[in-house]
Copies of this chain bind each other. A is one copy, B any other.
């Protein structure tokens, strides 16, 4: 029952803040995170009055809810994108993704390496900062483009394809990062090869099953008689891929994401597909995701900005500039005009969802536990990365609205409406 009380408070605050953000022309996501931050401050400042709330956010039950949220979020992100988009993505998108991945990766690693103190986990911490900066938030990018009616434009297509490649690179890097966390050192060539081998096996198996087996199984599933069996089937499929990913030493979010990628309008009857998408969208955007974003916000201590101001400011600059240059410059070289190249660079810099997922994983894996006791820069590293996510997610839609003309007026609800 205590859980229901927490869910009531957290969901109410985040959704109202999200709606307020939408009204102010921002992504709802941003409001949800800010709502979580506000809740975190209230809980920490007045812990006597909100003991139950404070304790509950550290409880196993609340963690179960946020785990589920991450699972649904990645599954839905996978469904939003199709393998065909990967295949059709031109050489351009790969190069843009590579630039937008490597530049902030290198810059982030360098910055962290200079600032962080020596410890067993210094490599893991630097790699964490690098990964967090290298990522692009597909859901955020898609959402922003959708709001501007630019999702199916030439620039929009390029952004989504590049963001997709970027995320696949980042999730592979996450596997390396998790390896580093468990061993404390950069993997040897042999270990790296083993990780890449596991990644290859994972993709070979999941792609083979996704392409050849899933369409056949889907036809069987459509013949079932029990209510909502299709919805269970997609969850089981994603849960199985998630388990397989963990089994191969990767993170479960990769499994949920890949499972989503192979579930599309051609896999099942389009009407059933729309129904399932709509249900996943409801439980994710309407229930679990806001609670997850709030929980991230609740972990944030804004004091990071006061404790390590120089590092935080540099990190935000490197994050934004790294993507802007890393993705924008290849786009310009490949023939995009200045305005479009700038739009691509800005859109790729939104981090939001996926970076927060990775920050959360790193926090739980104990990346910030060394040296012991952690100096301010390590103690505030998590919060610094969350500040980066919030800052870049705030800037991207603001800047894009100036760079790209809005093609249809305010289509915020299209996602939900198309599916209902």
A27 to B176, CA, bound (A): 48
Q: Establish whether residues B59 and A229, one from each chain, have CB atoms under 8 Å apart when the complex forms.
A: no
Q: Which residue of B lies closest to A59 (CB)?
A: B60
Given A232-B15, A239-B11, A282-B231, check contact A410 B225 (CB 8 Å): yes
Q: Establish whether residues A229 and B282, one from each chain, have CB atoms under 8 Å apart when the complex forms.
A: no
Interface size of A in residues (CB-CB distance below 8 Å): 65
Q: Establish whether residues B19 and A224, one from each chain, have CB atoms under 8 Å apart when the complex forms.
A: yes
Can you spell out 27 A-B residue pairs with CB atoms less than 8 angstroms apart? A1-B246, A1-B252, A4-B243, A7-B235, A8-B239, A8-B242, A8-B243, A11-B236, A11-B239, A15-B229, A15-B236, A19-B226, A21-B226, A28-B226, A61-B64, A64-B64, A225-B410, A227-B413, A227-B416, A228-B282, A228-B286, A232-B286, A232-B290, A275-B278, A275-B282, A275-B419, A279-B283
A4 to B420, CA, bound (A): 28
Query: Does A337 make an interface contact (CB < 8 A)?
Result: no
Q: Establish whether residues A412 and B7, one from each chain, have CB atoms under 8 Å apart when the complex forms.
A: no
Q: Establish whether residues B64 and A19, one from each chain, have CB atoms under 8 Å apart when the complex forms.
A: no
A419 vs chain B, min Cβ distance (A): 8
Query: Does A65 make an interface contact (CB < 8 A)?
Result: yes
Instruction: State which residues 229-275 of A face B: CB under 8 Å.
Output: 229-233, 235-236, 239-240, 242-243, 246, 252, 271-272, 274-275
A15 to B220, CA, bound (A): 14
A236 to B199, CA, bound (A): 41
A239 to B13, CA, bound (A): 13
**Chain B residues within 8 Å of A286, by CB:** 227-232, 235, 279
A18 to B227, CA, bound (A): 10
Query: Does A118 make an interface contact (CB < 8 A)?
Result: no
Sort A-B residue pairs by CB-CB distance and give the 7 closest, nearest first: A231-B286, A228-B286, A279-B282, A61-B64, A275-B420, A8-B239, A60-B60
Q: Which of B3, B23, B242, B272 contacts A420 (CB 8 A)?
A: B272
Q: Establish whether residues B228 and A12, one from each chain, have CB atoms under 8 Å apart when the complex forms.
A: no
**Chain B residues within 8 Å of A22, by CB:** 224-226
Q: Which residue of B lies closest to A12 (CB)?
A: B236
Query: Does A321 make an interface contact (CB < 8 A)?
Result: no
Q: Which of A3, A4, A225, A410 has the most CB of B within 10 A?
A: A4
**Chain B residues within 8 Å of A252, by CB:** 1, 4
A240 to B15, CA, bound (A): 15
**Chain B residues within 8 Å of A230, by CB:** 286, 416
A34 vs chain B, min Cβ distance (A): 14
Query: Does A51 make an interface contact (CB < 8 A)?
Result: no
What 0/1 pattern do residues 279 to 298 of A give for CB contact below 8 A with B? 10111111100100000000
Query: Does A5 make an interface contact (CB < 8 A)?
Result: yes
Q: Which of B8, B228, B235, B410 contacts A236 (CB 8 A)?
A: B8
**Chain B residues within 8 Å of A8, by CB:** 236, 239-240, 242-243
Given A22-B226, A23-B225, A236-B12, check contact A231 B287 (CB 8 Å): yes
